[in-house]
Structure 1
Amino acid sequence: MASIVERPKKDGTVTYQIKWRQDGQWQTENFGEPDAAAQFKKLVEAHGGQWPHGWVRGHGFVEPDAIPGDPLLTDYATRYVDRLTGIDVRTREDYHREVRIHFSLLVHTRTDGVVMPATIGNLTQEDVTDWVRAEQEGEPDPDDKKKWLRRKADPKSIRNRHGLLYCIVQAAMESTPQLRTTNCCKKTSLPRLDDHTAEEMTFLEKTEYQRVAVEIKDPDARDLADWLVGTGMRWGEATALQVRDLRLDADNPTANVQRAWKKAKKGSPSAFYLGPPKTKRARRLIALNTAQVAVCRRLTAGRRPEDFIFRAAMGGHWTHANYYNRKWKPAVAAAVEKGLPKRPRIHDLRHTHVAWLIGANIPLPAIQLRLGHESIQTTVDRYGHLVRSLDRDITAAITEAMGAPAPGAWGPRAVASV
């Protein structure tokens, strides 16, 4: 419920402030006349304790584009990304691309149906919902139904873009002066991550991986594939490993993940540079088995501490494009030609590693630490559906709890005698 608070001024006049709680925070609007305050109070209550649709704080029912200082959404978003701290150069470029390509599709539809450019102030929940739907459905080419003017976005991409938009709108709410009173992204219904029929991840059985591995004729390339599927490391982590990162003489030999390859800013002398791993938890020690230790000893013999463990033909580190096009893609094609029913990506070796661990009943928290996931929720969301080792225990527990059915309880209904 909203309330009216009278606020006397030093000059003897009185203002009337409407107060109410919205999403756990106090909201206020001021009026010079009691009748106007009472009318606005009724509007707030009629809208379920929310700001009335189309009302702009301090201005009333006006089109937000008439408010001085209300920038275009893309201009405000660009400035927001420019001022972000704690992100690398490539991430900033990716955010700018999202603003340039996808946020530019956002428009504001007025209550009278007129479509106009989206500003940081006039964007509504309905506008965001329309944008999400457009991202889901894409835009077919009207002249050729087999082509797209804009392809459909997958659920994960939509969620990532919506998350960035949410932060931008939230910044406008918390800015001085305040550019918005509510976050229009807060109640958006987003597509589920499993709203598709194609499997996002490919899991290989051990024999299926061997069918691909045997087609990798280059021994150095085969070593890298075995390492990826045997450790679950990300591509950028494995190819950044250096001799100094290994501890092979310890009772528990390990590889220390402390750097990874990052995409450099466009126009840089090099396309990649060495930086920190993806997250804080990605800095980790990975336990090695006897076979992996033997491979490391062979690959590091006579090498300097800063030398890369996995090296291409010319002695430098492997690049993803080079490895994929010259080693992985031909091997998969050859395996498929001989009957492999899947087309795994290089990153699917990481998924396969997890599937093997789960198949061996390794607990998810231990898998989280090995993979370097920031949160156990990430591990559960991605791989929890593979955990079937407790199915028998679960069904046995339910059977025990419910007890054995009485004789004839589930049989044909007895016929009453007459």
Structure 2
Amino acid sequence: MASIVERPKSDGSLTFQVRWRDGGSRGSKIETENFPDIESAEQFKKLVDAHGQHWPHGWVRGQGFVEEPAVPGDRPFVEWALRYVRRLTGIDERTRDDYEREIRLHLSLIVHTTHSGLIIPPTICNVTADDVADWVRAETEGLPDPGDPSKWLRRKADPKSIRTRHGLMYSIFQAAVEADPPLRAKNPCKGTSLPRIDDHINEEMCFLEREEYTRVRIEITDPDAGDLTDWLVGSGTRWGEATALQVQDLNLHSEKPTATITRAWKKGKKGSGTGLYLGPPKTKRGRRVLRLTPSQVVMLRRRTAGRSPEEFVFRTSMGKVWHHANFYNRKWRPAVEAAMEKGLTKCPRIHDLRHTHVAWLIAARIPLAKIQARLGHESISTTVDRYGHLLEGLDDEVSDAVEAALSVPAQPALRMVIGG
């Protein structure tokens, strides 16, 4: 049987040497292979034992398994991924910075496991579908601290985050598939079984009934903050879109008054010295036109009277742009806490006003396609994934409609009589 010997280095660290006699005979040559950690040494020891005390087939001393020639152009996965993101066009620098952070903190956790069971560094060419599945499992389960089970070395990732990161990984590998010449024959992310997000939605979202919203709203005594709150829940716009709305975006004097969403506040790249700046909405479909209700028209006319076209519609009492932290800490959180003291059983976030808007539309039987357009979702699947479970409240109406259709007596077929 092979054995593992700890070998101290001059700097005080350890290497782990696997030792065995070739073929297992007492007088045969002693073979050795060194590893920087005990886990790799133990894996290799098992391989030597499984191969009858011989070098594992395909293993090159000091290099590991050399199963096939390297693909020209192959490179470490993280290196390729960062190169891919840095060459992307059509995204802002904050988004690029977010992608790079996801690669460094999460996508870098992927490893390649060879057919022999050895774990080696991943490259853009050697990663398999099994490796991607192992990565999803690692993200889902997290990494507890072995010294303290109550703590985490790496916390569990929620299903939505895993799907987002997997989407980025998919794009990175697809670039290798479509390279000229191709570096891969197929994308290892294709067909990955991902965790469901529908069971997680209720933990992320908070939907307010009209009476519950009123409980919170009545606690917001600042008229400017109250107008913004009513707009958020009444329009379903994101915070960055609502606070970027300008007078010129409104059409308040036609038979069908509208508000056009064309811009949103963006965060500058970390470390760049750039704070918030105005940019396009989150998605291409984020550029949209919203029909206004009569009460919204009255409120917007009051807020925009005498204002210039480029002034912001929603501003503080001092005439300044609203900042999320300022609004949350001084207006929203105190109002929610006061409402909870008086019996409100929910603790909504500002973004839950958008979710509440959707819940009200679904309760009013508005089709999901219309809701998708109103929210600015790029795909109807996004709307269905996030809010489809709310349609369960319409099950009675669906069953009644089916019952009504089936209960109509079938009309007898008309007979054509030929001759007299």
Work out whether the TM-score is over 0.5.
yes
Distance 1:124 1:396 in 2: 49
Match status 1:146 vs 2:150: yes
Structure 1: tracts of 5 or more residues without a match: 1-53, 55-60, 405-418
Distance 2:383 2:212 in 1: 24
Match status 1:353 vs 2:357: yes
* Equivalent residue runs for 1:83-162 within 5 Å: 83-162=87-166
Alpha-carbon contact 1:202-1:348 (below 8 Å) kept: yes
Per-residue deviation, 1:67? 5.1
Q: TM-score, normalised by structure 2?
A: 0.77
Distance 1:146 1:198 in 2: 25
Match status 1:172 vs 2:176: yes
- Aligned residue number for residue 246 of structure 1: 250
Distance 2:145 2:94 in 1: 31
Per-residue deviation, 1:169? 1.1
Alpha-carbon contact 1:65-1:119 (below 8 Å) kept: no
Match status 1:303 vs 2:307: yes
**Count of aligned pairs:** 345
Alpha-carbon contact 1:78-1:99 (below 8 Å) kept: yes
- Aligned residue number for residue 372 of structure 1: 376
Distance 2:398 2:183 in 1: 56
Alpha-carbon contact 2:198-2:385 (below 8 Å) kept: no
RMSD value, Cα: 2.3
Per-residue deviation, 1:403? 10
Alpha-carbon contact 1:172-1:178 (below 8 Å) kept: yes
Per-residue deviation, 1:311? 0.9
Per-residue deviation, 1:291? 1.7
Match status 1:229 vs 2:233: yes
Per-residue deviation, 1:198? 4.6
Alpha-carbon contact 2:252-2:297 (below 8 Å) kept: yes
Q: TM-score, normalised by structure 1?
A: 0.77
Deviations 1:237-279 (A, max 9, x none): 1100011111111111111111111111223444211111122
Distance 2:397 2:109 in 1: 51
Percent identity between the two aligned chains: 65
* Equivalent residue runs for 1:273-292 within 5 Å: 273-292=277-296
Alpha-carbon contact 1:139-1:150 (below 8 Å) kept: yes
Deviations 1:278-325 (A, max 9, x none): 222221221122221221122122221111111124422111122112
CA spacing shift, 1:399–1:300, aligned 2, 3 Å = closer
Per-residue deviation, 1:62? 4.2
* Equivalent residue runs for 1:254-269 within 5 Å: 254-269=258-273
Alpha-carbon contact 1:64-1:121 (below 8 Å) kept: no
Deviations 1:162-202 (A, max 9, x none): 11111111211222333222221113111111243853221
Specify the SS of the correspondent of 1:365: helix
Distance 2:274 2:317 in 1: 19
Which of residues 381, 401, 404 in structure 1 aligns to 2:385? Answer: 381
Q: Aligned letter for 1:397?
A: V
CA spacing shift, 1:251–1:196, aligned 2, 3 Å = closer
Q: Aligned letter for 2:135?
A: W
Match status 1:70 vs 2:69: no
- Aligned residue number for residue 402 of structure 2: 397
Specify the SS of the correspondent of 1:255: strand
Q: Aligned letter for 2:187?
A: N
* Equivalent residue runs for 1:211-226 within 5 Å: 211-226=215-230
- Aligned residue number for residue 333 of structure 1: 337
Q: Aligned letter for 1:234?
A: R
